[in-house]
Amino acid sequence: MGPRSVIRHRYDAVIVGAGGAGLIAALEASKRCRVAVVSKLHPSRSHTGTAQGGIGAALGNLETDNWQWHMFDTIKGSDYLADQDAVELMCQEAIEVVYDLEHMGLPFNRTPEGKIDQRRFGGHTKEFGKAPVRRSCYAADRTGHMILQTLYQQCIKQEVTFFDEFYLLDVLIQDGRCSGVVAWCIATGELHLFHAKAVLLATGGFGRMFSVTSNAHTLTGDGCAVLFQRGLPLEDMEFFQFHPTGIYKLGILITEGARGEGGILLNGKGERFMQRYAPTLMDLAPRDMISRAIYREIREGKGIEGKDYVYLDLTQLDPEIVEKKLPDITDFVRTYLGVDPIKNPIPVQPTAHYAMGGIPTNVHAQVVIDERQTPLSGLYAAGECACVSVHGANRLGTNSLVDIVVFGRRGGRSMAERLHALDWPTLPEDAVARTQETISHLCESRGEESVARIRTDLQQMMMLHVSVYRTERGLKEALAAILDLRDRYRRVSLQDRGLRFNTELQEALELGCLLDLAWVTTIAALSRTESRGAHFREDYPARDDVRWLKHSLANLREGEIVLSEKPVTISRFQPQERKY
C-alpha cells in the first residue's frame, strides 16, 4: 500500500480526547479561539461515562465540611507524594466547578431541601481524619455518565467542532515548540495533519495493560505513549491503582459508593477483615490499603472457599437504597453474575483502575519536560493522562472527576489565554513521515505474531508481577518478558489491510502504546525501593521519605529508559505515618 492521502487543517487549538477533561477544556477554549476536538471514540462513548460514585467537593450540604479537610485527605491518601500547591487549588476550585456543572444542567441527586446530595467515600474525612464525611456529590451510580453527557450537551450548544473517530498518531514537536498533531480518520483511512498553536492531550488512562481491569478496551494510554516516543518524560508511572471491588474475573467496577452506603467486605470465614487493617475507617479506608488487605486474606487462604476473591456484602442495606442509589451496579451484578445483590453477597477482587502517573504538567496544565518544571511551548495535558500531581502515590475516590474538570478547565483557559502571544509555529517538513512509516510497517508486515496473543501475554504478566504486590524478582521477570513481547510486536501481522474502518490496525497501534507504558511502569517500579501508596514492594515494605519522597521521571533516550527525579512540593502538611 502506498502512502495515504493527507488532509490539512488549521486551528488555534486542538484538543485530543473528548472525555470529561477534553470536553471541559473545549468549552473553555472555544469561548476565546477556534478549537477542534479530535477523539478516537464518539465523545459520548468516552470512559468518563462509566464513573459511578461521585465527584468530591466540600460543599458541606449535609454536615460541616471544608476544602482544607479535603486537601488534607487527598495528601494523606497520596501517601504524601502529591504536590500540595496543586492539591490546594484543586480542592478549592472543586466547589465552584461542581456548582458550574449544576448550572450547566447536571442532574445531581438532591437532598430534601433541594441541594446537591452528598455521600461518604473512602478516605474522605472531617477534621483531619477524625471520621468519615459526606463529600461525594453524585447522581445515583452514574455520576460520570451525567458529567460526560452534560459537558457534551454544552459543547453542542456552543457549537464546538468535533472530529469523531479520529485516532491520534503523532504530536509534532520541534525546537521546543508543539506545532500540531497527526491523526488518522478511522472511517476512511486518510491521515489528517492539524496545524495548531496549542495542543491539549486528554486521552485518558491505560488500565488495559492488566488482565483484570475496570477500564474500557480503548484505555490504552495513546497520548502518554506518543509523547514518550517523542522523548518527553512520563512521571510517577510506578503508581497504578487497584480498586478493591471489581466483579470477580470480569473486573467491572463496583463503586466505593456501595461501601459509602454501608456495604461491607467479608472473607471466607465471614469476618469483616477490614476491622483489623484500618480500625477507624474500616471498609472506607483508601483503596491501596483495602486491595492489599484482600490480597493478604486470599494468600492466607481466607478467600471465599479458599479461592482468589472475597465478598462485598450489601444484603444488610435497605433494598430501596440499593435499587435507588446503586441501580447500575445492581444491574451489572444481576446481568453478569446472575446474583441478586439484595439477597446475596457479591464476589469481588481488586481490579486495575487508575493511572496516577502520566504526562507531567504544572497547575496550568502545561506539559513540563524536566525536574525544573520547564514548560514546552504550546503543549498541554489534562485528565487521567496527566500527572499534576494531585494524586501522588494513591488517588482517593471522587478525586479523578474533580481533577479532570478542574485541570481540564484550567488547561482550556490557559491555552486560549496564551495563544495571542504566540505566532504560528512552522510545521516540520516531514510532518507525516513517521506516521506513514508506522502504519505501513504494520500493514505490510508478514510476520507470524498476532496482536491478541501478545496483548494477552502482556496483561497476564503485568497482573502477576506488577500489580498489588511487587518484588524485585517478579519485576525483573516481567521486564524480561516485556522486552521479549516488544520484540515479538515487531513481527506482528494483520489480516485486515484495508483502508476503511480498520479496527485491527487500531488495536495494533494501541498495543504498541501499552507495551511502551508497561515497560516504563515496570522499570520505574523496579527502581523505587520503598513502598508508598499503590506501589508496594514486599522486599521494601516501608515508606522511605529520606530516599524516596520524590517524583520519578522516565525518558526514552536512544532506545533505553532513563530515570530521574523531581522534588515534591510540600507546603502545609508534613509527611506522617499513614494510619486510618
Partner 1 sequence: MQVRVKIRRFNPEQDAQAHWREYTLTAEPSDRVLDLLHQVKWYRDGTLTFRRSCAHGICGSDAMTINGRNRLACKALVKDLKQPITIEPMRGFPVVKDMVVDMTGFWEKYRSVKPYLISAEPLPAKERLQSPCERERYDDTTKCILCGACTTSCPSFWANAQYLGPAAIVQAHRFLFDSRDRGAKERLDVLNASSGVWRCRTIFNCTDACPKGIRVTQAIGQVKQWLAKVRLSRRKSVSKTVLSDS
Ligand X SMILES: Cc1cc2nc3c(=O)[nH]c(=O)nc-3n(C[C@H](O)[C@H](O)[C@H](O)COP(=O)(O)OP(=O)(O)OC[C@H]3O[C@@H](n4cnc5c(N)ncnc54)[C@H](O)[C@@H]3O)c2cc1C
Binding site for partner 1 (CB under 8 A): 41-42, 44-47, 49-50, 59, 98-99, 102-105, 107-116, 139, 142, 145-146, 149, 153-154, 156-157, 187, 216-218, 250, 252, 328, 331-332, 335-338, 450-452, 494-496, 498-504
Residue 557 C-alpha cell reads as: 533516550
51 counts as binding ligand X under rule CB under 6 A: yes
User: In this complex, which beta carbon is closest to ligand X, that of residue 41 or of residue 212?
Assistant: 41
Find, among 121, 405, 151, the residue nearest to 262 by Cα.
Answer: 121
Q: For residues 492-520, b (16+ Cβ closer than 10 Å) or e, as one string?
A: bbbeeeebeebebbbbbbbbbbbbbbbbb
User: In this complex, which beta carbon is closest to partner 1, that of residue 256 or of residue 297?
Assistant: 256
Q: Which of 28, 65, 73, 222 binds ligand X (CB under 6 A)?
A: 222
Contact 325, 257 (CB under 8 A): yes
User: In this complex, which beta carbon is closest to partner 1, that of residue 102 or of residue 370?
Assistant: 102
User: In this complex, which beta carbon is closest to ligand X, that of residue 179 or of residue 267?
Assistant: 179
User: In this complex, which beta carbon is closest to partner 1, that of residue 27 or of residue 525?
Assistant: 27
CA distance 127 to 110: 25
Catalytic residue list contains 537: no
439 counts as binding ligand X under rule CB under 6 A: no
Burial class (CB in 10 A: 0-12, 13-18, 19+), 424: exposed
CA distance 63 to 61: 6
CA distance 316 to 133: 21
399 counts as binding ligand X under rule CB under 6 A: yes
CA distance 383 to 309: 31
Please give the radius of gyration of the chain, using alpha carbons only, rounded to the nearest integer: 23
527: cis peptide before it, omega within 30°? no
What residue 557 binds from ligand X, partner 1, none (CB within 5 to 8 A, per partner kind)? none
Contact 181, 488 (CB under 8 A): no
Q: Which listed residue (120, 287, 395, 537) is catalytic?
A: 287
Contact 306, 268 (CB under 8 A): yes
398 counts as binding ligand X under rule CB under 6 A: yes
Q: How far is the CB of 253 from partner 1 (least distance, A)?
A: 9
Q: H or E element: which one contains 162?
A: strand 161-164
Binding to ligand X, residues 327-356 (CB under 6 A): 354
What residue 401 binds from partner 1, ligand X, none (CB within 5 to 8 A, per partner kind)? ligand X
Find, among 221, 228, 239, the residue nearest to 524 by Cα.
Answer: 239
Which phi and psi (to 5°) does residue 521 adopt? -60, -45
Which of the ranges 229-237, 382-390, 536-544, 547-555 carries the binding residues for ligand X, by CB under 6 A? 382-390
User: In this complex, which beta carbon is closest to partner 1, that of residue 328 or of residue 477?
Assistant: 328
How many chain residues bind ligand X (CB under 6 A)?
44
260 counts as binding ligand X under rule CB under 6 A: no
User: What residue is closest to ligand X based on CB?
Assistant: 19
Binding map of ligand X across residues 121-140, x = CB under 6 A, - = no contact = --------------------
Pairing of strands 35-39, 161-164: parallel
Q: How far is the CB of 425 from partner 1 (least distance, A)?
A: 33
Q: Which residue has the cell 450547566?
A: 104
Listed as own residue / partner, the contacts of 333-337 with beta carbons closer than 8 Å and 24 or more positions apart are 333/247, 333/254, 336/247, 336/250, 336/252, 337/247, 337/248
Which of the ranges 52-60, 170-178, 303-311, 560-568 carries the binding residues for ligand X, by CB under 6 A? 52-60
Q: H or E element: which one contains 163?
A: strand 161-164
Q: Which of 4, 13, 28, 40 binds ligand X (CB under 6 A)?
A: 40
Which phi and psi (to 5°) does residue 557 adopt? -130, 110
Q: How far is the CB of 83 from ligand X (least distance, A)?
A: 18
User: In this complex, which beta carbon is closest to partner 1, that of residue 494 or of residue 553?
Assistant: 494
Q: How far is the CB of 70 from partner 1 (least distance, A)?
A: 17
Q: How far is the CB of 370 from ligand X (least distance, A)?
A: 24
Q: How far is the CB of 428 from ligand X (least distance, A)?
A: 20
Output the DSSP codes for 40-72: SS-GGGSGGGG--S-EE----SSS---HHHHHH
Where on the chain is the footprint of ligand X (CB under 6 A)? 16-22, 38-41, 46-48, 50-55, 143-144, 167-168, 202-205, 214-215, 222-223, 253, 255, 354, 383-385, 397-401, 404
Any idea which residues carry the catalytic annotation? 287
